[in-house]
């Protein structure tokens, strides 16, 4: 979350997770931090295509929208031109 706020040190720490298989929502948060701070869409697309992620199929019942629909929406926002 610090990387989303522009903390450069936190942004550099994203690389620590490059080779770990993370749930898709976690990978999307890291990609969003990368996009927010670098404004380099090609780098973000490469990051999302090369960093391992696994589907997150847990359904939340507490109103947090933890679902496949949310995952698809976040992924779409990250790959949208001009983002």
Task: Indicate the DSSP class of residue 39.
Answer: -
Print the domain residue range for 11. 3-79
Over 50: is that where the pLDDT of 83 sits?
no
Alpha-carbon separation of residue 21 from 26, 34, 37, 64, 83 (angstroms):
10, 18, 23, 23, 25
Which residue did the predictor score with more confidence, 42 or 9?
A: 42
pLDDT tens digits, 27-76 = 888 888 888 888 888 988 899 899 998 887 666 666 666 666 677 777 77
Coil vs helix vs strand at 64: coil
Which residue did the predictor score with more confidence, 64 or 10?
A: 10
**Tell me, what's the pLDDT at 81?**
57
Number of domains in the chain: 1
């Amino acid at each position: 979350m610090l990387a989303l706020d522009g903390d450069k040190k936190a942004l550099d720490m994203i690389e620590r997770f490059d080779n770990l298989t993370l749930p898709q929502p976690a990978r999307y948060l890291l990609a969003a931090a990368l996009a927010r701070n670098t404004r380099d869409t090609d780098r973000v697309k490469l990051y999302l295509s090369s960093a391992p992620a696994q589907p997150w199929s847990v359904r939340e019942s507490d109103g947090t929208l933890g679902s496949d629909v949310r995952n698809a929406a976040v992924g779409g926002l990250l790959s949208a031109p001009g983002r």
